[in-house]
Structure 1
Amino acid sequence: MGTTASRHDQPETIREIDLALTGVRCAGCVGRVEKALRQVPGVVSADINLATKRAHVRAVGTADPALVDAVSASGYGADILVPDGTGDADAGTADPHAHHGHDHAGHGAAGQGGWRVLLAAALTLPLLLPMMAPLVGLHIMLPGWVQLALASPVLFWLGWQFHAGAVRAARAGHGSMDSLVSLGTLAAWGLSLYLWLAAPAGHEPHLYFEAAAVIITLLLLGRWLEARALSQAMAAIDALGALRPRTARLRLPGGDVDVPVGQVRVGDMVVVLPGALVPVDGTVLEGISDIDESMITGESLPVTRREGDPVTGGSVNGAGTLLVRTRAVGADSTLSRIIKLVEGAQMAKAPIQRLADRVSAIFVPVVLGLAILTLAGWLLAGAGMEASLINAVSVLVIACPCALGLATPTALMAGTGVAAQAGILIKDAAALEQAHRADTIIFDKTGTLTEGRPTLAALHPAEGQDRAELLRLAASLQAGSEHPLATAVLTAARDEGQTAEPTLDQQALAGLGLVATVAGRPLLLGNDRLMRDHGVAMDALASVAAAEAAAGRTVSWLAEAGPSPHLLGLLAFGDPVKPSARAAVAALKAAGLRTLMLTGDNQGAADKVAAELGLDQAIAHLLPQDKAAHVAQLKRAGASVAMVGDGINDAPALAAADVGFAMATGTQVAMHTAGITLMRGDPLLVADAIAISRRTWAKIRQNLFWAFAYNVVGIPLAALGLLSPAVAGAAMAFSSVSVVSNALLLRRWRPRSRT
């Protein structure tokens, strides 16, 4: 790489690199590879997901080969995962799944491992005949050479991956899960070979070839079942990835032509035929159709899109034909950002997982020590080498910490995946953890609990002012603004045939309103604080304003500034609450959460909404910094605060809260600030997000309990000679499968917002 050029261009740019790992099988492996990656110069952070066998590295100025070399030096393998490249012209035909890396633990591993399990089982079953035959009154003893011939292929061919992993770990100077398996099975096989060769002629000693073969077979079976289960846990990502269209019908001067979607550029016009996937994010120029956006927003009902409406790449077109102007492609598209968010959440580590990783990092040397103590203890007790070695082998096999490493990532994968299908995007594990701890939910009002599309309900001119003139001035002030109140004024003006005049020096004042000059007149439009700041007397319409506020309407004052500021009139806006808002608040309160509302609106409007929805408290007349201050105050009082908002003015409060929920129907600033994005403007999704975070965290705790329980109970039993190596192997394999299967129960969760 040209370091000088990169330093000249963007010396502090942090790159994000994903690596597919091989040989990583336990939480101890994870800790060693992460440590190796973090020691590479320029690496800011490195996190590994054991379930997906992927590493996510953030680095400044680090060459990719250095990361691969670091992983190799630690005894494992790595390949750089190349992003999908759907935004590049030369990569339009790339496999949309290529960058997921799921084959390491998903469909590919499950498919490849099946024949190994079947063959291992076929070779191992005859070895078990002597143990099972007495159950039907038969006594069978296989000759030693037959047992050796059956067990050796299982151990040295089908189970070679375990020995190879142990060798890699030994070369790097540490132990791993493979070390425990390899030592245990080789010890059982070696002891059996010795006993067979040393036996007197005509005597068939008791051999343990079946123990070594059974352990390998059960581990292969467990790993195969694990891979199948993990592929189900990643179903959400796979389903989203499958929505990536490969081609788009581009409209060119010479006619329509199908091209790889990677060749489409922002501004291009794309034709979407009936029943086709929408290939890009864009705006409808022509046509009308119903669009199925369920995989992206979680909304089960199709939505109608016509001229001027946005469409999202990956959604499914209905019966109409649409002409769409491209707004975003490749990594900038909504679908790519959703996939990136979900993958990021699944890669991120919760603090509770880091604890498990630290425990596992010292686990292998401790277990090796316990196995040696077991061997020595039984020898000193006079049990003989055969029995002592078998008990030591059982300790090695039962102690493999696979389940411990899988406990957290599998639950995170399943939980964030099912949440994404419901339209809830969880940015990282920290957001999930904070959401499950939340005991106080704060809502913004406009656009969050209410429709956010207010209408101009009343217009009251001051004495001596003309109503039509008042509406014309208000519309002129707000021309070009996308604020919901501005839209309501402009709509009313258009309906009454009023034309807006040009403005000068227009300035928006956050939390107050705006100022501008119209036809040479300096005008103010905003709340009562803006009026007081400019010395405008509001007494003449104070009773009218109070009545409007008591009716739950939002009041804006229009005044002329200058040397003699005076009131021109007031505008009253109505904004109905969302249909699901009451049910959302009720669900949150039923879950034991306190519900509040912070708004820049007047207290009357706030109180009416609070009473209608059953909120515990409503605080009005707040600037953006005031909302953030209230959040900070609640946190100082010991509350765990979640903030729900959709606007730029909510961003400070979203950042100040323990976890922020942003409505995707709002601004990009809010979504970038929040830890959780709700793909629909449905307040019930807040209750759903809290529910799935609590359910996921419960699964993590259950998984960690069972993972520790297997080891805490199993190791002493094995050391005391109460577990044979075969039973220990079965228990270890079952522990991993049970942890993954328990996490998959999260897929049964169904959101309230769809019921």
Structure 2
Amino acid sequence: MAHPATFELSIHGMTCSSCAGRVERALQKTTGVHSASVNLASERARVHVDASVGPARLIEAVSRAGYQAQIAADSAAEQRARQRLELQQRIELVLAFALAIPLVLPMLLMPLGVTLMLPPWVQFALATPVQFLAGARFYTAAWRALRARAANMDLLVALGTSAAYALSLFLWAQATLGQAPHLYFETAAVVIALVLLGKHLEARAKRRAAGAIRALEALRPATATRLEGGVALEVPLASLRKGDHLQVQPGERFAADGRVIEGHSSADESLLSGEALPMGKATGDRVSSGTLNGEGVLVVEVEATGHETLLEGIIRLVETAQAAKAPVQRLVDRVSRVFVPAILLLALATFIAWYLIGGSIEHALVTAVSVLVIACPCALGLATPAAILAGTGVAARHGLLIRDVGVIETAGRIRHVVFDKTGTLTEGKAELTALLPATLGDLSVLALAGALASGGTHPLAQAVQRACVASGIQVGKAQTVTALPGRGVAGQVNGRQVVLGSTRLLEPDVACPPALRTAAAEWEAQGMSVSWLLEQSPQPRVLGAMAFADTPRPEARAAIEALTQHGITCHMLTGDNPGSAARVASLVGITDVQASLLPAQKAQRVTELAASGPVAMVGDGINDAPALAAAQIGIAMAGATDVAAQAGAVVLARADLRLVPAALNIAAKVQRKIHQNLFWAFAYNLVGIPLAALGLLSPIFAGAAMALSSVSVVSNALLLNTWVPPTLKER
């Protein structure tokens, strides 16, 4: 029996969610296809088919739907083709604005008493390239919509601008010699330029969304060092099998999931747990693909490769979460499904009625075109992008980068905000929080530890150095310093042989006061990291113990309180231990805490919370990427990993948690502005269209009304420039 196959296609030509829906339906109707899922953000389709179905049949189905497809390969050629398309679209945008500005300038100068009328041939020369070169994509997309018996914004733009352009040609042709006819070339050009700007912003957001997956995939090393008969050989990842022995040098990423069978080191596992401190690795400890080896050489036995690794699991989670989130369905697109056919029918009825009443084809045509001109979606095209441009601009000035405009439709309905701990609610770096000496004084213990830690790059060594500076201690130099992989560092300070490191140093023959062991146990129960200072001769004995912890951000409690006051429930999800999580949660004012979670468990919890209301997730690490993608709004902290930043719909430009409630506030305000703009845009149409149909509104006044509606929409959107984050007003 033949096994099912899976193909991933790269789809070109999709502009909105209805496009993705048409491609998906076309694939699902193809014989032999079990299921198909189209991701608009990544412009990819994943199709599960019978083994007898080849990619050619799938590509043909997409082509029949009006789009182009090819097998996704992420090749250099495909990347170059994508870059060429982006360059072409930028050129079209620049061309449209460069030619539209001279056309609209006379209209803008008119209220100032300046009369500047361009000759008809100049208007024609400026508007024609905009209409048929820069605006070609709208005709193409409108034709696809008509073939699919659907209506969208592209169809509305194509009809409205074509009506204005055709009416201008008609009036120009009818004008007598020496007469200066009123033309509407500027209307068509400005509409195309502004809508192209909106398309450009949407395309940029889609490219960034796809970047999260590419950043995750970049964590995989290209090769691995496999031991064969005691000889180290560099091999590609695809050749790895379970049971292989890999040699991992300091600073290398682990190529597969496995277990340490030789060596001591530490590993940066923020990928999985979000823990800021490297974890010691010795024989028997597990390591994961994509995590970073520390200072020692390790030999690892492979236990999982390829799609079975935890890293690949995280990648699949981000892909699934992004695909599961339906793209924002624009209100204008929904209305246009009814609006466009209704306007066409009304224009046709107007033409027929006036022809039957007056018998003049010219008057009937002008009246019908007046209906199309007043219905031309200039204000509709401005309503959303004008508010988004103003809102995202003022947000950026206050340190908020809104990457996905889908945030705007969701922010006002958020009921839960989920925070990661390390690097989000906390500073993300260890600090010395407690020191207990055995026989020496506090400063003496700190001075000895500082001498050993001097110049060290380990986070705990740096914390000791900062503590020495804060205490005003002049740190001496240690001689014969030796690293003890996975345990600490040893050296000679002022003639004393001392060691600074982890609890693994406390072997049975080491003398340690019971009070220090009790204190250390309490510190560890609170989630702190404990280091010991030992003297090795004449007999091993403990000189002191130190506790390190990640400190909460100073503004964290204020941010939590601001969210709570607006009826939003705050939660903490972390990969750290329960003691550390509980300590930080109590300091910042969060009562719902879940600790020791893997990335998949974080994403699952976010999904569960979403059942009772939309969720915003705030994080900074790679381990947060699946949860950020699964949440209705993902918010990445300043300095977040590339993966977290790409998966987040909002990025905080500076590490200030008060920007989280501010982000929800500005997004909700932009949403209200969009609704107000759409109201004004439709209000002009609802009043103007009947007047035009009754012959009471000439094309000249129709154009003026349309311009007035645009001015109203833009002026209303610009009011957002006065916004100041409520949580930052008292700074």
TM-score bin, normalised by smaller chain: 0.5 to 0.7
Matched residue SS, 1:592: coil
Matched, 1:684 2:675: no
Give aligned-pair identity as a percent: 42
Other-structure match for 2:371:
395
Q: Is 1:614 aligned with 2:632?
A: no
Q: 1:658-691 CA deviation, whole Å, 9 max, x = no partner? A: 3332222454454344332212111112122222
**Aligned mates of 2:390, 2:652 — CA distance in 1:** 18
Give 1:291's aligned residue. none
- The equivalent of 1:456 in structure 2 is 432
Distance 2:708 2:624 in 1: 48
1:626-637 matches, within 5 Å, as 626-635=601-610, 637=611
State the Cα distance separating 1:180 from its structure 2 match.
0.9
1:594 aligned to which of 554, 557, 569:
569
CA distance in 2, matches of 1:696, 1:614: 30
CA deviations over 1:142-195 (Å, ceiling 9, x no partner): xxxxxxxx9xx76554356556766777998975333211343455666787xx
Give the match's secondary structure for 1:459. Answer: strand
**What are the superposed Cα offsets for residues 674-730 of structure 1, whole Å, 9 maximum, x if unpaired?**
332212111112122222222222223333333344334433332233433332221
Residue 420 of structure 2 is aligned to residue 444 of structure 1 = yes
Q: Deviations over 1:240-281 (max 9, x none)?
A: xxxxxxxxxxxxxxxxxxxxxxxxxxxxxxxxxxxxxxxxxx
Decide whether the 8 Å contact of 2:652 with 2:659 is kept in 1: yes
When residues 218 and 692 of structure 1 are mapped into structure 2, their CA distance, relative to the original with a 3 A threshold, is same
User: Secondary structure at 1:448's aligned position in 2?
Assistant: helix
The correspondence for 2:159, drawn from 163, 176, 179, is 176
Judged with a 3 Å threshold, the aligned counterparts in structure 2 of structure 1 residues 659 and 43 are, in CA distance, closer, same or farther, namely farther
Mapped partners of 2:127, 2:575: distance in 1: 63
Aligned to 2:256: none
Amino acid paired to 1:114: L
- RMSD over aligned CA atoms reads 5.9
Q: Give 2:164's aligned amino acid.
A: V
1:158 pairs with 2:123:
yes
> Unpaired segments of 5 or more residues in structure 1?
1-11, 18-33, 46-57, 69-77, 82-98, 126-149, 197-208, 234-348, 507-514, 532-536, 561-565
In structure 1, what is the equivalent of residue 78 of structure 2?
60
* Cα separation, 2, equivalents of 1:220 and 1:121: 23
Q: Which residue of 1 aligns with 2:669?
A: 695
- Report the Cα distance in structure 2 between the residues aligned to 1:110 and 1:686, rounded to whole angstroms: 38
CA distance in 2 between counterparts of 1:603 and 1:65 reads 47
> What's the CA shift string for 1:422-458, capped at 9, x where partnerless?
2222233345555554321122334433444543122
Q: Which amino acid aligns with 2:482?
A: P
State the SS of the aligned residue for 1:502.
strand
SS of the residue 2:421 aligns to: coil
Q: Determine if contact 1:116/1:220 at 8 Å carries over to the other structure.
A: no
Tell me, yes or no, if the aligned pair for 1:154 and 1:217 is still in contact at 8 Å.
no
Match of 2:701 among 711, 723, 727: 727
Q: Does 1:380 align with 2:356?
A: yes
Q: 1:633 to 1:556 in 2, by over 3 A?
A: farther
What is the SS of the residue equivalent to 2:593? strand
What CA distance in whole angstroms lies between the structure 1 residues aligned with 2:604 and 2:545? 30
Deviations 1:334-361 (A, max 9, x none): xxxxxxxxxxxxxxx9944656357658
Gaps of 5+ in 2: 1-7, 14-42, 44-61, 144-157, 202-324, 492-497, 507-511, 535-540
- Identify which of 611, 618, 628 aligns with 1:654: 628
2:346 matched residue in structure 1: 370
Q: Does the C-alpha gap of structure 1 residues 657 and 365 become closer, same or farther in structure 2, counting only changes over 3 Å? A: closer
Aligned mates of 1:414, 1:611 — CA distance in 2? 38
> What TM-score does the superposition give when structure 1 sets the normalisation length?
0.52
Partners in 2 of 1:604 and 1:619 — Cα distance? 11
Question: Are the counterparts in 2 of residues 181 and 397 from structure 1 also a CA contact under 8 Å?
Answer: yes
**1:445 to 1:118, Cα distance in 2 relative to 1, 3 A:** closer
Within 2, Cα distance between the matches of 1:590 and 1:475? 49
The 3 A distance-change label for structure 1 pair 645 and 178 is closer
Residue aligning to 1:503 = 483
**Structure 1 position 119, deviation (Å):** 9.0
Q: Per-residue deviation at 1:415?
A: 2.1
User: Deviations 1:460-490 (Å, cap 9, x if unpaired)?
Assistant: 47999x998899789979985554x553235
Whole-Å Cα distance in 2 between the matches of residues 15 and 469 of structure 1? 64
| 1:578 Cα offset (Å) | 3.2
Does 1:580 find its partner at 2:555? yes
CA distance in 1, matches of 2:468, 2:444: 9
Q: Is the 8 A contact 1:454 1:574 kept in 2?
A: yes
Structure 2 counterpart of 1:253: none
Partner of 1:405: 381
Cα gap change, 1:433/1:736 in structure 2, threshold over 3 Å: closer, same or farther? same
Asked if residue 750 in structure 1 is aligned to residue 724 in structure 2, the reply is yes
Deviations 1:83-113 (A, max 9, x none): xxxxxxxxxxxxxxxx9x8755668854674
- In the other structure, the counterpart of 1:718 is 692
The verdict on how the C-alpha distance between 1:605 and 1:538 changes in structure 2, with shifts beyond 3 A counting, is: farther
8 A Cα contact 1:419 1:425, kept in partner: yes
Q: Provide the C-alpha distance between the structure 2 equivalents of 1:65 and 1:448, rounded to a whole number of angstroms.
A: 35
> Does the residue aligned with 1:114 lie in a helix, a strand or coil?
helix
| Partner Cα distance (2:712, 2:425) in 1 | 41
Instruction: Decide whether aligned partners of structure 1 residues 40 and 190 sit closer, same or farther in structure 2, where only a CA change above 3 A counts.
Output: same
Which secondary structure does the structure 2 equivalent of 1:400 belong to? coil
Distance (Å, rounded) in 2 between the aligned partners of 1:64 and 1:686: 34
Measured in 2, the distance between the counterparts of 1:123 and 1:727 equals 19
TM-score by length of 2: 0.54
Asked whether the 8 Å contact 1:226–1:736 carries over to 2, the reply is no
Shift in Å at residue 744 of structure 1?
A: 2.2
| Distance in 2 between residues matched to 1:584 and 1:165, nearest whole Å | 48
Map 1:325-364 → 2, pairs under 5 A: 351-352=327-328, 356-357=332-333
Report the CA distance between 1:374 and its aligned residue: 0.8
Counterpart in 1 of 2:184?
216
Would the aligned equivalents of 2:414 and 2:615 in 1 still touch at CA under 8 Å? Answer: yes
- Preserved CA contact (<8 Å) 1:353 1:408: no
Alpha carbons of structure 1 residues 734 and 618: separation in structure 2 relative to 1, 3 Å: same
**Equivalent AA in structure 2 for residue 442 of structure 1:** V
Q: In structure 1, give the amino acid aligned to 2:78.
A: V
* Matched-pair contact (CA < 8 Å) for 2:417–2:569: yes
> Equivalent residue for 1:326?
none
Alignment of 1:61-460 (within 5 A): 63=81, 79=88, 81=90, 104=95, 110=101, 113-114=104-105, 155-158=120-123, 161=126, 175-185=158-168, 213=182, 216=184, 219=187, 351-352=327-328, 356-357=332-333, 367-381=343-357, 388-435=364-411, 437-460=413-436
Q: Secondary structure at the match of 2:184?
A: helix
Alpha-carbon displacement from aligned partner over 1:500-556 (angstroms, at most 9, x marks no partner): 9433544xxxxxxxx67979x9998489xxx9xxxxx99976863686589x88354
Q: Specify the alignment match of 1:263 in structure 2.
A: none
Kindly state the Cα deviation for residue 640 of structure 1 after the two structures are TM-superposed.
2.3
Please give the alpha-carbon distance, in whole angstroms, between the structure 1 residues aligned to 2:126 and 2:422.
Answer: 59
Is the Cα contact below 8 Å between 2:451 and 2:476 reproduced in 1? no
How far residue 400 of structure 1 moved from its aligned partner, in angstroms, is: 0.7
Q: Give the 3 Å change call, closer, same or farther, for CA 629–493 of structure 1 in structure 2.
A: farther
SS in 1 for 2:417: strand
Q: Tell whether the 8 Å contact from 1:654 to 1:661 is kept in structure 2 after alignment.
A: yes
**CA contact under 8 A between 2:164 and 2:185: conserved in structure 1?**
no
CA–CA distance in 1 between the matches of 2:124 and 2:448?
81
In 2, Cα distance between equivalents of 1:698 and 1:440: 21
Return the letter of the residue paired with 1:60.
Answer: E
Paired residues of 1:445 and 1:598 also in contact (CA < 8 A): yes
